[in-house]
Chain A
Amino acid sequence: MNAGETCRSCRLRWEESRVSDYGVSHGACRVDVFAFLQLLARLEARRCLKDIEPRLFLRPVYLIQWRDLYLCVSGKTELLYHLLCRCVLPEAAGGLEVDALFVDTDYSLDMLRLVSILDSRLSSAGLEEAALRSSLSRLLVVHCSSSSQLLLTLHYLETTLNSRPSLALLLIDSISAFYWLDRCEGGASISRQEEKLSKCAELLGRLLRDYKFTIFATCHTIRRSSSGLAASRSSTLEADRPYLCRPWQRLVTHRVLCSRQEAENHTAGGSREEKRQVFGVHCSSSSSRTKASRISPFCVTDAGVQFI
């Protein structure tokens, strides 16, 4: 993508500064996955567009669903924190300085870990304590304890979106937290079981159309893959069978799968070889014809996710 060209998908013009920011790696923020590139580009492009026309809320319309395979340890949470940090950090540290709303449905937000990632990125950029406070103040956290409360909170989200125009990202972790509770409450009828999540999905669809922000939602695996750490890609995709309701599946535009790969040997600056846990992320989009079939590996360090 050259400066001055128009991006085919979002029809926004690339500014030269954005292209140069984009090509250079910001330390831990180098992203290799194609759909991620597109997404982050859109976030950046939206920001520069806001500078040109502040009253025009043209934000990308993406709903990204994360799944993890093969058990809980798949680096999914780390990737989420990586993206969250990228949004709230100041520009000097490689962030986008936008507000983010984190909807926590199962008390899985580890604030201490998030702050340690923010801290290490800020200190490597040479910024002080005050920058940490301002980054944290850009993050809003809501906790929901049932799917009814989630529905009501999403209704209230409209007010929040109006009052905070810099809110560009909604993170839901996780949308599948109440799946079993709803299934049991719904009894034998599947439509009653899926009723609440369908209403949430419809509401989110309407909000996305009106306000055009980005949503990331994580979704847990409920079935263990019987082949364990599969080497073949086809079984990776087969194991990701969607189980949430249809309105939600229709809303999702990008699917990201995180999985754990074999730990590789890594010589850590001395004679001692260490095994480093490597995770892989695979992104597929419902709009693109060709599926991005690469699995981008990353590992987790103290400063968060580092793509290899």
Chain B
Amino acid sequence: MTANNMADPRRPSKIFRYKPPNTETNPTLEDPTPDYMNLLGMVFSMCGLMLKLKWCAWIAVYCSFISFANSRSSEDTKQMMSSFMLSISAVVMSYLQNPQPMSPPW
């Protein structure tokens, strides 16, 4: 018995539960990319809607995709979906108002 105990390092009595690290005290641990991209996406989609710029709306769609790809699992999906929908609506509205194709900047 004792030999078994000595060889087996496991101690069920010494179990500690997992505590997710507190990111408030250590903000450097968090990846800010999804939050930045979310904000950027919203800004671009508002620009696209207000100023009727098609390229702004397209960039907003890309930003929301990037934000989704980098997001954490714990993050609210509602926020993701809302930024998504906003950017897609920006694209659709730009084309409804002006069906002309986008002209390249060159």
Q: Do A and B bind each other?
A: no
